[in-house]
Amino acid sequence: MNRRNIVITLVVGASIAMGIETSGAADAPLATATFAGGCFWCTEAVYAELKGVKSVTSGYLGGAVPNPTYKDVCTGQTGHAEAIEIEYDPAVVSFQKLLEVFFATHDPTTLNRQGADVGTQYRSGIFYHDDEQKRVAEEVIVKLNQARVFPGPIVTEVTKASVFYPAEDYHQDYFAKNPYQPYCQAAAAPKVAKVRKVFKDLVK
């Protein structure tokens, strides 16, 4: 685990110790988390690895056009982000742990860009479903910035979740179905490998 991953773990862990953590009872219902961190093939592949994650759906949200298609979103004109909707068991994996993985597996300091993928559809975002998720996300971002974990300030937007539109069927489980596709090999595979190495205790 490199220094950045250690600091992310410590910062998020400190937030939990300060009372931000919401412990889940054994019979707690499933919760929803929605993140955008670049191409959804990558983010979906990352979270599919984790214990307690029951489903991950790739899709679009945050825009003004109803029922957008992939072609629409790729124009960058609809306002949507490529995002994932995670259904998870909070008794097994907390929202804070999901955030820890989120900040460790993409660059939250590049505005509307992840690597060679450029456009508002590739922005970094946390789309909260309740006030607690909002509070936790904002607190973690402040602490990561204060700790100077990244070379620049975090530009991740923290916005109330709007209508989530599932992407076309061929986008779902894309990495699992196409592990040797060139983009997957270049972008998704390294992130999955990182999760398996850095977050061994969270992996299924």
- Give Cβ neighbours of residue 110 (< 8 Å, ≥ 6 apart): 124, 155
Determine the average pLDDT of the residues in 82-96: 97
Average pLDDT over the chain reads: 91
Q: Is the confidence at residue 55, as pLDDT, over 90?
A: yes
The DSSP letter of residue 78 is: S
Q: Is the confidence at residue 26, as pLDDT, over 90?
A: no
pLDDT per position as a tens digit, 101-114: 999 999 999 999 99
Higher pLDDT, 16 or 37: 37
For residue 156, which of 123, 121, 202, 200 has the smallest C-alpha distance? 123
Which residue is catalytic, options 39, 42, 74, 184?
39
- Percentage of the chain beyond pLDDT 70 is 86
Q: Is the confidence at residue 2, as pLDDT, over 80?
A: no
Higher pLDDT, 3 or 66: 66
pLDDT per position as a tens digit, 117-153: 999 999 999 999 999 999 999 999 999 999 999 999 9
For residue 7, which of 151, 123, 114, 122 has the smallest C-alpha distance? 151
Active site residue 39: yes
pLDDT at 4: 67
Determine the average pLDDT of the residues in 176-193: 98
Whether the Cβ atoms of residue 49 and residue 196 lie closer than 8 Å to each other? yes
Task: Give pTM, 2 decimals.
Answer: 0.89
pLDDT at 18: 42
Determine the average pLDDT of the residues in 68-90: 97
Total tally of structural domains belonging to the chain: 1
pLDDT at 16: 45
Q: Which residues of 157-187 are buried (b: 16+ CB within 10 A; e: fewer)?
A: bbbebeebbebeeebbbbbeeeeeeebbeeb
Residue 149's CATH number? 3.30.1060.10
pLDDT at 22: 43
Residues 100 and 71: their CA atoms lie apart, in Å, by 31
Beta strands in the chain (DSSP E): 31-37, 53-61, 81-88, 113-114, 117-118, 124-128, 157-160, 165-166
List the domain range (segments joined by +) for residue 143: 3-202
Residues 70 and 130: their CA atoms lie apart, in Å, by 28
pLDDT at 14: 54
Residues 76 and 63: their CA atoms lie apart, in Å, by 10
pLDDT at 15: 52
pLDDT at 23: 43
Q: Is the confidence at residue 72, as pLDDT, over 80?
A: yes
Asked whether the CA dihedral 135, 139, 140, 145 is positive or negative, the reply is positive
Any idea how long the chain is?
A: 204
Q: Is the confidence at residue 84, as pLDDT, over 90?
A: yes
